[in-house]
Chain A
Amino acid sequence: MLGFAKGLKYTLKNLTREKVTYDYPNKPLPLPDRFRGIQKFYPEKCIVCNQCANICPTDCIQLTGKKHPDPAKKGKIIDTYDINFEICILCDLCTEVCPTEAIIMTNNFELAEYSRDMLFKNLEWLDENDENIRQVNKA
Chain B
Amino acid sequence: MIEELLQSSPGWANFGIFFLLGAVLLLIVLGFVTYGILAERKVLGYMQLRHGPNQVGGKWGLLQTVADVLKLLLKEDIIPKAADKPLFIIAPAIAFAPSFMVLATMPFTDKFQFADIGVGLLYYIAVSGLTVFGMVLGGWASNNKYALLGGMRAAAQMISYEIPLVMSVLGVILLTGSLNLNEIVTHQEHGWFILLQPIGFIVFFIASIAELNRTPFDLPESENELVAGYHVEYSGFRWAFFMLAEYVYLFAMSALITVVFLGGWLAPFGFLDFIPGAVWFALKFSVVVFIYIWLRATLPRFRADRLMEFGWKVLLPIALANIFLTALLKSLFF
| A interface, CB within 8 angstroms of B | 4, 7-8, 10-12, 14-15, 17-21
Interface 1/0 per residue, B31-56 and A, CB below 8 Å = 00000000000010011111100000
A21 to B50 CA separation, bound complex (whole angstroms): 6
- B299 pairs with A14, CB closer than 8 A: no
Summarize B's interface: helix, strand, loop or mixed: helix
Q: Flag B294-307 by CB within 8 Å of A: 1 or 0 each.
A: 11011100000000
Cα-based distance from A52 to B169 in the complex (angstroms): 78
CB of A11 within 8 A of CB of B298, answer: yes
Once the chains are docked, how many angstroms separate the CA of A15 from the CA of B43? Answer: 7
Asked if B299 and A7 make an inter-chain contact with CB atoms under 8 angstroms apart, the answer reads yes
Minimum distance in angstroms from A53 CB to a CB of chain B? 43
CA distance A47 to B177 in the complex (A): 97
Q: How many chain B residues touch A (Cβ–Cβ < 8 Å)? A: 12
Q: Which residues of A contact B49 (CB under 8 A)?
A: 14, 17-21
Q: Tell me, in angstroms, the Cα distance from A7 to B297 when the chains sit together.
A: 9
Interface of B with A (CB < 8 Å)?
43, 46-51, 294-295, 297-299
Contact A12 B50 (CB under 8 A): no
A-B contacts, 28 listed (Cβ < 8 Å): A4-B298, A7-B298, A7-B299, A8-B294, A8-B295, A8-B298, A10-B298, A11-B294, A11-B297, A11-B298, A12-B47, A12-B294, A14-B46, A14-B47, A14-B48, A14-B49, A15-B43, A17-B49, A18-B49, A19-B46, A19-B49, A19-B50, A19-B51, A20-B49, A20-B50, A21-B49, A21-B50, A21-B51
Partner of A15, one of B47, B295, B299: B47
The minimal Cβ–Cβ distance linking B315 to chain A, given in whole angstroms, is: 15
Q: Which residues does chain B contribute within 8 Å of A20, judged by CB atoms?
A: 49-50
Of the candidates A4, A11, A21, the one having the most CB atoms from chain B within 10 angstroms of its own CB is: A11
In the complex, the chain B residue whose C-beta lies closest to that of A14 is B47
Q: With the chains together, A11 CA to B48 CA distance in Å? A: 8
- List the 3 closest A-B pairs by CB distance, nearest first: A11-B47, A11-B298, A7-B298
- Cβ of B301 to closest chain A Cβ, rounded Å: 14
- What is the total of A-B residue contacts with beta carbons within 8 Å? 32
Chain A nearest Cβ from B190, distance in angstroms = 30
* Most chain B CB atoms below 10 A, which of A4, A14, A18, A20: A14
Find chain B residues with CB under 8 A from A19 CB.
Answer: 46, 49-51
Q: Which residue of A lies closest to B46 (CB)?
A: A15
Which residues of chain B are within 8 angstroms of A11 by Cβ–Cβ distance?
Answer: 47, 294, 297-298
* Nearest chain B residue, comparing its CB with the CB of A10: B298
List residues of chain B with CB within 8 A of the CB of A10. Answer: 298
Contact partners of B294 in chain A: CB under 8 A: 8, 11-12
B307, chain A: closest CB distance, angstroms: 16
Residues of B within 8 A of A18 (CB): 49
Determine the residue in chain B with the shortest Cβ distance to A6: B298
In the complex, which residues of chain B have a beta carbon less than 8 angstroms from the beta carbon of A14? Answer: 46-49
The minimal Cβ–Cβ distance linking B202 to chain A, given in whole angstroms, is 11
Residues of A within 8 A of B43 (CB): 15
Instruction: Name the B residues within 8 Å of A15 (CB-CB).
Output: 43, 46-47
Cα A8 to Cα B299 with chains together (Å):
8
Residue in chain B with minimal CB distance to A17 = B49
Task: For residue A92, give the distance in angstroms from its CB to the closest CB of chain B.
Answer: 32
CB distance from A16 to the nearest CB of B (A): 8
Write out the residue numbers on chain A whose beta carbons fall within 8 Å of the beta carbon of B48: 14
Beyond the given A11-B297, A14-B47, could you list 19 further A-B residue pairs with CB under 8 A, ordered by the A residue number?
A4-B298, A4-B299, A7-B298, A7-B299, A8-B294, A8-B295, A10-B298, A11-B47, A11-B294, A12-B47, A12-B294, A14-B48, A14-B49, A15-B46, A18-B49, A19-B46, A20-B49, A21-B49, A21-B51
Measured between beta carbons, the chain A residues less than 8 angstroms from B298 are 4, 7-8, 10-11
Nearest-CB residue, chain B, relative to A7: B298
Q: How far is the CA of A93 from the CA of B21 in the complex (A)?
A: 73
Residue in B46, B50, B51 whose Cβ sees the most chain A Cβ within 10 Å: B46
The residue on A at minimum CB distance from B297 is: A11
